[in-house]
Chain A
C-alpha cells in the first residue's frame, strides 16, 4: 500500500516537473543540420531533426509511418489558457501537427517551434500546458509494471513465509539483497540503513526498469524517460530532500562550521561555508546530469548509426546497402553496451544517494577525539 502511494506521489511530481521543463525540451531552437531547400515535399533526410525527434517529448506516441499514413497513439492534451480557460482534447485533433483546433496549434517555426501555442490574432501565446505527454504515459506504464511485479512478489513472501523462492521471486531476491548488502549497509552503516531501504529500492528499480524500457525500440518501450532532465532532476531533488530532512547536527556543523578550519576562513567573509553551500546544491545537480547525459548519449549514438545508413544511401543506394550491414552490427553492439550502462547508472545513482544519506546521519567519529 505504501509502495503504491510512494509510486503515485513520484509519478505526480514527475508530471509536474515535466510540465515545467516540457516547455523547453520539445523544440530545437534552430535546426542546424536541416535541409536547406524550401520546397522539400519529398524531404531530404535531416539527421539532426531525426535524432531530436526521438529524444524529446511529444504530444502523441508515434509508432510507424507507411509512406503517407502515420500510425500513432493520440494522447490527451490538457491546456489552460487565460483567454479560453481549460481545454481538454486528444492530440489526434492536431492531425500530427498540421491542423489547428480551437485556435491551438503546434507552432512549426519561430521561437515556440514544437510547442502548443494559441493564435490570438497575429500573436502566439503559450498556454499552460499540462498535457499527458509521451514521457508521462511511459512513466505510468513503467510504474504500473514495477508495482505489479513487486506487489505480487511481496504477496508470495507474505503468504508462504517458509517456502524457498521460485519464479519471479528468485529473480528479484538477489537484486534486492544486492541493494541492501552492497549499497545500503556499507554506505549508511549497520544501524541506520533500514529507514532508507524503501527509497533506495524504489530508486534503483525505477531507474533500472525505465532505462531498460527506453532501449526497446517499439511501443510500450522507447520513450526516453530517464533521458528527460525533468525526471532525473526530480529524483535528485528527492535525494536532496531526504538528505536534508534526515541530517543531524554533526552534518550541518561539518558544512558550515567545520572544526579545525582556521577562523579567518569563516569570518568576516564566510569563504569555506559558501563553498560548502555550493557543494550541497551541486551534488543533486551532478546526479541529475550524470543520469540524463548517459541515457541521452546512448540513444543518440544508436540513432547516429541508423542515420549513417540514410545519409549514405541518399548518395548512392549500393553504398547504403554496404553501410547498413556495418551499421546494424555496430547498433547491436551499442545496444548491448547500453544494457550494461542502464544497470551501472541505476547502481551509481543509488550508491551515491546512499553515500549522501550515510554522510547525513554520521556520528562524529570518536567523541573523545578532536582534530
Chain B
C-alpha cells in the first residue's frame, strides 16, 4: 500500500495534468446538465404555449450563455494548470 503511494507521489507532474483533464471534463458535464435542463424546459414551454416562442427563445439563450460562463471558469483554471 505504501509503495503504491510512493510510486504515485513520484509522478506529481503527471498527476497535475490528470487533475486538469478531469477538471475540464467535469466542467463540461456540469455545463451539459445545466443547459440540457434549460433546453428541456424550453421544449415543454413551447408545447404549452407555442405563440410565446420568441420571448422564451431569447431568455433561453441568455440563461445558456450565463451557465456557459460558469463552466468556462473551470476551463480557464485547467488551461492555467497545463500551461503555467
Q: Which residues of A contact B (CB under 8 A)?
A: 28-30, 32, 48, 52, 182, 286, 289-290, 292-294, 297, 344-345, 347-348, 351
Contact = CB atoms under 8 A, between A and B. Distances in A.
B76 to A, nearest CB: 5
B62 A348 contact: yes
Nearest to A348: B65
Interface stretch (B33-41, B42-50, B67-75): B67-75
A293 B62 contact: no
**Those 7 A-B pairs whose CB atoms lie nearest each other, nearest first:** A293-B72, A290-B69, A348-B65, A28-B83, A293-B76, A29-B84, A344-B65
B3 interface: no
Contacts of B58: 182
Interface in B5-64: 17, 58, 61-62
B69 A52 contact: no
Contacts of A48: 83
B84 A289 contact: no
18 contacts: A29-B83, A30-B83, A32-B82, A32-B83, A52-B83, A290-B69, A292-B76, A293-B69, A293-B73, A293-B75, A297-B72, A345-B65, A347-B61, A347-B62, A348-B61, A348-B65, A348-B66, A351-B62
Given A290-B65, A290-B68, A293-B69, 6 more contacts: A29-B83, A48-B83, A289-B69, A290-B69, A293-B72, A345-B65
A237 B69 CA distance: 18
A290 B72 contact: yes
Interface of B: 17, 58, 61-62, 65-66, 68-69, 72-73, 75-76, 82-84
Contacts of B83: 28-30, 32, 48, 52
Nearest to B64: A344
A351 B65 CA distance: 11
B72 A294 contact: yes
A289 B17 contact: no
Contacts of A52: 83
Contacts of B61: 344, 347-348
Nearest to A52: B83
A274 B82 CA distance: 33
Contacts of B72: 289-290, 293-294, 297
A48 B68 CA distance: 24
Contacts of A345: 65
Contacts of B69: 286, 289-290, 293-294
A48 B20 CA distance: 15
A294 B61 CA distance: 14
A293 B80 CA distance: 12
Nearest to B73: A289
Contact of B68 (A182, A294, A347): A294
B84 A297 contact: no
A271 B75 CA distance: 31
A127 B44 CA distance: 60
Contacts of A29: 83-84
B65 A297 contact: no
B75 A297 contact: yes
Nearest to B13: A32
Nearest to B72: A293
